[in-house]
Chain A
Amino acid sequence: MGRKSKKTKIFFIVSILPVVIALIIKLNQFFSDRTAIRGIYIFDNMTIAIYLQFLILILALFYGTSVCSEEVEGKTLTYLTTRPVSKSALIVGKYTAYTSLIIIMTSSGVILSFLILNLNDLLDFSLYKILLRDIIVLSLGLMCYTAFFTFIGTIMKKSILFGLIFSFGWENVIQYFPGSTQRFAIIHYLKSLLPVPRTGRFSFLMFRLEPSPPLFAVFMIFLIIGVFLGLACILFSWKEYIFED
């Protein structure tokens, strides 16, 4: 029921920002005399720096935590919990709706950025494989982070603050730890699905110590989705939510 909300409008604009950046870069290339950098190279870096390390975390954080908290804070939860629908179905239903929405938002931005940056190579079909792979990885990231934040939203009141610390603290630090510690970060599994090493200015963002095998990474991503969504359902059914006056 939140598709018309201010939040959706704001995040739609945020998800379009990389497209604006891509447009500026392309226009700059067009009017400058310098040798043009290949579009796919810029697109690769943009996927990692903007989408993977920032945008999907922000979208998943705000939509995931709101699955439960917006109903509690808005005091509209009563309308849903007095229907012949299990509480787990409510959580899974809202999770699915929000995840689909943010996947569409993100994918639209990624596709538009890709088309703008690769305007001169649109007939090079090998590039579309990269686009498809990036969209799949970002979608898996959105599914995984949203499941985690859905759980956090059902258990915590100050879930946004915790989410920000987790997203830009834990995730950004733990992935660079050696040994098995890096496997405690979701981003480790997402980066394991992308090729290494990439070169260029943003290559440090792609730095991986010991990537997991791609199949194992996919398995872990789905395991994380299942575990956190399951925990969110159990907690939501068990916990009672008292509205504050």
Chain B
Amino acid sequence: MNPIVETEHLSKWYGNVLGLSDVSLQIEPGITGILGPNGAGKSTFLKLISGQIKPNIGTCAIKGEMIRNNYPLFSNIGFCPEQDAFYEELTGWQFMIGLLKLHHFSFSEIDARARKALEIVDLIEDKDRIIKSYSRGMRQRLKFAQAIAHDPEIIILDEPLNGLDPLGRRKIIHLIKSYKGEGRTIIVSSHVLPEIEAMTKRIILIHQGKIFAQGDVHYIRDLIDTHPHIVSIKCSDPRHLASKFIQEDFVLNVNFNSAEDTLLVETNNRDKFFGLLPSLFVKHNIEVEEITSPDDNLQAVFDYLVGR
């Protein structure tokens, strides 16, 4: 398959701060997830491939053409920015119409496309409200709508699930996946692995401005699963629960917090651990108040993987 996006030795720095370093990759049609902790260089990469900023070194091409200042290419590109920025005084409808006008469609087509995009993101009934009055979820969906309204072949989404509630996330994930079936190229960034996992199996890991790994999600999962995880469990009988965990070979360490109502378990196999946990609660009649994973964030995983 021919690559749609191709970068060679792409590097970008902001003064003394490195944004992206020597990134060479090819992105083919389908959904590609860009995964990395905050400040890893995901947004810089997406801004470079959408021509918003220019690389200090290297090149970036979309379908073989250089992107920067090549505005005709944008009739085929939809971009959903990370920042929560809008023309606040406009209604959702005016916002969509205004941006579609820049695509040189006829009036009737502009109207039809705006309507269709707002229907897709479930905003058609709120189209005449000013954007300032929209909730965070509605604003995210409106950003998504403007990116798909002109029916682009390439859709670039920078953290599209930020600030969304679980239902909103499901809706956007479903939308993104439905677009994959139409032969499009979708590039989506996130710092949350399960979000990316829910959309695609093809992942590029970015860390400190460099491509850390790329490939199938199972490969990334394997990398992450070798990282010991600490799980915090607040329950009615933490000592009793601890005595059960201590017998398992995938549990490396067990601790209590100072109030002794929370158990901290370190495991090297999350799947086995979370597989056993519900049955222990039921079998020993333990009431659970809260389960959290203090280091279950991508930064901790990356720190572990790079050997910090």
- Partner-B contacts on A (CB < 8 A): 1-2, 4-5, 74-76, 78-87, 237, 240, 242-243
Nearest CB of A to B186, in Å? 15
In whole angstroms, what is the CA distance A87 to B95 when docked? 19
Q: Which residues of B contact A5 (CB under 8 A)?
A: 89
Contact with A along B72-95 (1 / 0, CB 8 A): 111101110101011101100011
Known: A78-B85, A84-B73. 13 other contacts (CB 8 A): A1-B87, A1-B90, A2-B87, A4-B89, A5-B89, A74-B87, A76-B85, A81-B51, A84-B104, A85-B102, A86-B69, A242-B53, A243-B83
Given contacts A2-B87, A87-B71, is CB(A78)–CB(B81) below 8 Å? yes
In whole angstroms, what is the CA distance A169 to B302 when docked? 56
**Does B42 sit within 8 A of A, measured CB to CB?**
no
B52 contacts A240, C-beta separation under 8 Å: yes
A75 contacts B83, C-beta separation under 8 Å: yes
B99 contacts A79, C-beta separation under 8 Å: yes
- Number of contacts between A and B (CB, 8 Å)? 62
Q: Which residues of A contact B53 (CB under 8 A)?
A: 240, 242
**Does B270 sit within 8 A of A, measured CB to CB?**
no
B69 contacts A87, C-beta separation under 8 Å: yes
Q: Which residues of A contact B90 (CB under 8 A)?
A: 1, 4
B52 contacts A83, C-beta separation under 8 Å: no
With both beta carbons as reference points, the residue of chain B lying nearest to A81 in the complex is identified as B52
Q: Which residues of A contact B103 (CB under 8 A)?
A: 83-84
Q: Which residues of B contact A240 (CB under 8 A)?
A: 52-54
B83 contacts A78, C-beta separation under 8 Å: yes
A78 contacts B102, C-beta separation under 8 Å: no
Q: Which residues of B contact A79 (CB under 8 A)?
A: 81, 99, 146
Number of contact residues on B: which range applies?
20 to 34
A82 contacts B89, C-beta separation under 8 Å: no
Nearest CB of A to B299, in Å? 18
Nearest CB of B to A20, in Å? 26
A83 contacts B85, C-beta separation under 8 Å: no
Name the interface residues of B30-55: CB closer than 8 Å to any CB of A: 50-54
Q: Which residues of B contact A86 (CB under 8 A)?
A: 69, 71
B74 contacts A84, C-beta separation under 8 Å: yes
Return the contact of A82 from the options B79, B87, B95 (Cβ within 8 A): B79
With both beta carbons as reference points, the residue of chain A lying nearest to B79 in the complex is identified as A82
Return the contact of B86 from the options A76, A83, A237 (Cβ within 8 A): A76
Q: Which residues of B contact A78 (CB under 8 A)?
A: 52, 79, 81, 83, 85
A82 contacts B74, C-beta separation under 8 Å: yes
With both beta carbons as reference points, the residue of chain B lying nearest to A3 in the complex is identified as B89
A82 contacts B77, C-beta separation under 8 Å: yes
Q: Which residues of A contact B146 (CB under 8 A)?
A: 79
**Does B278 sit within 8 A of A, measured CB to CB?**
no
Q: Which residues of B contact A80 (CB under 8 A)?
A: 102
Name the interface residues of B114-173: CB closer than 8 Å to any CB of A: 146
Nearest CB of B to A120, in Å? 43
In whole angstroms, what is the CA distance A84 to B98 when docked? 13
With both beta carbons as reference points, the residue of chain A lying nearest to B147 in the complex is identified as A82
With both beta carbons as reference points, the residue of chain A lying nearest to B78 in the complex is identified as A82
Return the contact of A237 from the options B69, B81, B83 (Cβ within 8 A): B69
Contact with A along B100-111 (1 / 0, CB 8 A): 001110000000
In whole angstroms, what is the CA distance A80 to B81 when docked? 11
Q: List 8 A-B contacts (CB under 8 A).
A: A74-B85, A76-B85, A76-B87, A78-B79, A78-B83, A79-B99, A84-B72, A87-B69
With both beta carbons as reference points, the residue of chain B lying nearest to A5 in the complex is identified as B89
B77, B87, B94, most chain A CB atoms within 10 A? B87
In whole angstroms, what is the CA distance A84 to B90 when docked? 22
Nearest CB of A to B138, in Å? 17
Q: Which residues of A contact B83 (CB under 8 A)?
A: 75, 78, 243
Q: Which residues of A contact B75 (CB under 8 A)?
A: 84
Q: Which residues of A contact B14 (CB under 8 A)?
A: 242
Given contacts A78-B52, A240-B52, is CB(A1)–CB(B71) below 8 Å? no
Nearest CB of A to B152, in Å? 10
Q: Which residues of A contact B51 (CB under 8 A)?
A: 81-82
Q: Which residues of A contact B54 (CB under 8 A)?
A: 240
Q: Which residues of A contact B85 (CB under 8 A)?
A: 74-76, 78
A83 contacts B74, C-beta separation under 8 Å: yes
Nearest CB of B to A166, in Å? 29
With both beta carbons as reference points, the residue of chain B lying nearest to A242 in the complex is identified as B14
A1 contacts B102, C-beta separation under 8 Å: no
In whole angstroms, what is the CA distance A2 to B87 when docked? 8
